[in-house]
Amino acid sequence: MRNFVIVLAVLASTSAFAQEERPTMVPEMTEIWDPEVTVVTPGETPMDAPSDAIVLLSANQPFGYEWINAEGAEPTWDFDQGVATVKKGSGTIETKRQFKDFQLHVEWRSPAEVIGESQGRGNSGIFLQGIYEVQVLDNFNNRTYRNGQAGSIYKQHAPLVNACKAPGVWQTYDIIYTAPRFNDDGTYFTHPRVTVIQNGVLVQHHVEVRGPTEYIGIPEYTVKPHGDGPIILQDHGNPVSFRNIWIREL
């Protein structure tokens, strides 16, 4: 019993000492001043590139300034006043630059003349790091499988809602992308993560991508370690148009 009393006394003394030594908190103790936050000048509208963005497609630069085809040559899509339109059979185009984590702004337009249905109507795609596809499709009164419609992470995540505008009307994607990191054995340490805002509406909320985009098969089976990669725009045979593409590296 005597030892127990001694222990309590020691604990009480230690606690009192700790309370006496604890500094009195003031607001300045939790205020961080340096380094100062970097200043970025926003665009005049949410569509316009901010001051730290890389402009990938605009009327102010030649089509081939930032883009090449799959063979590394000049792209052969139709290009007029900053608008690039898929030319059937010409193949995909991709950025010359490679990217990792980023904020990407893309404006796209499906053909005003409605031809086809389901996946055969206004189909294209935006491949992040050249591997993970955000689907582009005319889903205005056009039903298809839910994990393959506009705003989907193709064959993996259906969009939260269908936010498509009518055919022939410009639409926007604002994409926030976090690239994967890999373990030494080639498996994902952290998976890719994607957020997509379509026409101002959240359609993908920080979703985890299971693996590379596959038309047939399970994504996990084809995972390969990779570094930075390009933005790829798909030729799916439909004359989908793109304009005003810019990217901010994060």
Task: Provide the token pair at 65.
Answer: 């300034």
pLDDT above 70 for 15: no
pLDDT above 50 for 123: yes
149 occurs within a structural domain: yes
pLDDT above 80 for 14: no
CA distances from 220 to 78, 128, 151, 186 (A): 36, 17, 21, 12
CA distance 179 to 191: 7
Mean pLDDT value of segment 108-130: 95
Res 164: pLDDT: 98
Any residues with CB less than 8 A from the CB of 215 and at least 6 apart, and which?
Answer: 155
Res 185: pLDDT: 92
Q: For the chain, give the percent of residues with pLDDT over 70.
A: 92
Assess contact for 192 and 209: CB atoms under 8 A.
yes
Res 3: pLDDT: 52
Q: For the chain, give the percent of residues with pLDDT over 90.
A: 88
Mean pLDDT value of segment 167-189: 96
- pLDDT tens for residues 129-149? 999 999 999 999 999 999 999
Instruction: Return the minimum-mean-pLDDT range out of 11-15, 69-73, 126-130, 172-176.
Output: 11-15
Show the domain range for 183. Answer: 50-249
Mean pLDDT value of segment 75-93: 96
Res 48: pLDDT: 95
169 occurs within a structural domain: yes
pLDDT band for position 5 (cuts 50, 70, 90): very low
Partners of 195 in the β-ladder: 176
Mean pLDDT value of segment 201-206: 98
pLDDT band for position 19 (cuts 50, 70, 90): low
172 occurs within a structural domain: yes
Res 12: pLDDT: 54
Mean pLDDT value of segment 20-43: 92
CA distances from 66 to 62, 90, 125, 151, 207 (A): 8, 17, 18, 25, 29
pLDDT band for position 21 (cuts 50, 70, 90): confident
What CATH number corresponds to the domain at position 230?
2.60.120.560
- pLDDT tens for residues 55-74? 999 999 999 999 999 999 99
CA distance 82 to 158: 31
10 occurs within a structural domain: no
pTM of the model: 0.89
Write b or e for each residue in 87-109: b if 16 or more Cβ atoms lie within 10 A of its Cβ, otherwise e: eeeebbbbbeeebeebbbbbbbb
Assess contact for 194 and 177: CB atoms under 8 A.
yes
221 occurs within a structural domain: yes
241 occurs within a structural domain: yes
35 occurs within a structural domain: no
Number of domains the chain contains: 1
- Give the chain's end-to-end CA distance (angstroms, integer): 63
| Between 223 and 11, the higher pLDDT residue | 223
178 occurs within a structural domain: yes
